[in-house]
């Protein structure tokens, strides 16, 4: 009976890792939709988000079942509460990918981003996608060192976002309001995906060390 219980705890971790990879795919596809102006790829991100939501419901239901039936204490209790929070982070990351895809879809057949800004957006997207992948490794391996590396990637995201603002607000910005508004919001979406990846990693650090990271958990 207890063995079945520990198997169930392990399988929740496996499911969290799988859900994180699903989200990573959504981030990657939404960026592709954006940079290739593909309505088809954008639609796929929007429709596949139902799978991310379903994964959240499935994992939540299992966490509640274990909380109610097994009355876990200490580490197991913390782990289940952390899992409930992590699925909420992951669902939001899925939603944010949908927001990126919808910006792409709104501008089809045009690419929403002026050529000159494509490298900055590509870099933001690559940083976000890498951070989601790193979060999956942190969860799978309970890897505290990898969690710290994630915080450094977050600094890079901040810098990219600031650089995009400098460009858009410069006097010689020739593209007008629409791409500026799109880039401001896209930057915000990628930044939030990155924030949630950091949050996932911090929850693992808290589980392993029992301590919250220097910043808020």
State which residue, 5 or 173, has the beta carbon closest to a copy of itself.
Answer: 173
CB of 185 to a copy of itself, least distance (A): 6
Pick from 162, 159, 153: which is nearest to 200 by CA? 153
Instruction: Please give the distance of CA 18 from its chain centroid, rounded to a whole number.
Output: 13
Instruction: Give the nearest distance from C-beta 173 to a copy of itself in angstroms.
Output: 6
Within 10 angstroms of residue 32's Cβ, the number of other Cβ atoms is 17
Burial 83-107 (b: 16+ CB within 10 A, else e): bbebbebbbbbbbbbbbbbebbbeb
**Is 2 a binder of a copy of itself (CB under 8 A)?**
no
Binding positions for a copy of itself, 60-79, rule CB under 8 A: 64, 67-68, 71, 73-74, 77-78
DSSP SS3 for 134: helix
Least distance CB 161 / a copy of itself (angstroms): 11
Please tell me whether residue 91 binds a copy of itself under the rule CB under 8 A.
yes
* Identity of the residue, 27 or 168, whose beta carbon is nearer to a copy of itself in the bound complex: 168
48 CB neighbour count, 10 Å cutoff: 17
- CB nearer a copy of itself, residue 111 or residue 185: 185
Q: Which of 53, 65, 155, 158 binds a copy of itself (CB under 8 A)?
A: 53
Of 41 and 82, CB closest to a copy of itself: 82
| 111 token code pair | 């690419």
Both tokens of 124, joined, read 């933001």
Helices (DSSP H) in the chain: which residue ranges?
2-36, 39-70, 74-107, 118-141, 144-168, 177-209
**Piece in contact with a copy of itself (CB under 8 A), picked from 17-25, 35-43, 120-128, 180-188:** 180-188
- The answer to the question of residue 46 lying near a copy of itself (CB under 8 A) is no
Q: Which is nearer to a copy of itself, 1 or 68 (CB)?
A: 68
Indicate the DSSP class of residue 172: T
My answer on whether omega of the bond before 109 falls inside 30° of 0, hence cis, is: yes
Closer to a copy of itself by Cβ: residue 104 or 146:
104
* Among candidate residues 187, 198, 47, the one with its CA nearest the CA of residue 125: 187
Provide the binding-site residues for a copy of itself, judged by CB under 8 A. 53, 56, 64, 67-68, 71, 73-74, 77-78, 81, 84-85, 88, 91, 165, 168-169, 173, 176-178, 180-181, 184-185, 188, 216
């Amino acid at each position: 009976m207890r063995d079945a219980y520990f198997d169930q705890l392990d399988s929740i971790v496996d499911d969290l890792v799988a859900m994180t990879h699903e989200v990573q795919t959504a981030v990657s596809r939404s960026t592709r939709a954006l940079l290739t102006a593909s309505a088809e790829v954008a639609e796929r991100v929007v429709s596949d988000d139902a799978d991310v939501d379903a994964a959240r419901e499935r994992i939540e239901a299992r966490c509640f079942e274990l909380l109610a039936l097994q009355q876990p204490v200490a580490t197991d209790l913390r782990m289940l509460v952390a899992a409930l929070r992590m699925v909420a982070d992951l669902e939001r990351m899925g939603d944010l990918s949908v927001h990126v895809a919808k910006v792409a879809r709104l501008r089809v057949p045009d690419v929403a981003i002026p050529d000159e800004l494509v490298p900055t957006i590509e870099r933001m997207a690559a940083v976000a996608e890498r951070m989601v992948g790193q979060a999956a490794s942190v969860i799978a391996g309970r890897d505290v060192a990898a969690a710290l590396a994630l915080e450094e990637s977050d600094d890079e995201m901040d810098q990219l976002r600031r650089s995009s603002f400098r460009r858009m607000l410069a006097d010689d910005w020739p593209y007008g309001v629409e791409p500026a508004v799109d880039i401001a919001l896209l930057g915000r979406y990628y930044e939030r995906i990155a924030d949630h990846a950091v949050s996932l990693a911090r929850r693992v650090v808290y589980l392993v060390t029992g301590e919250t990271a220097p910043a808020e958990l």
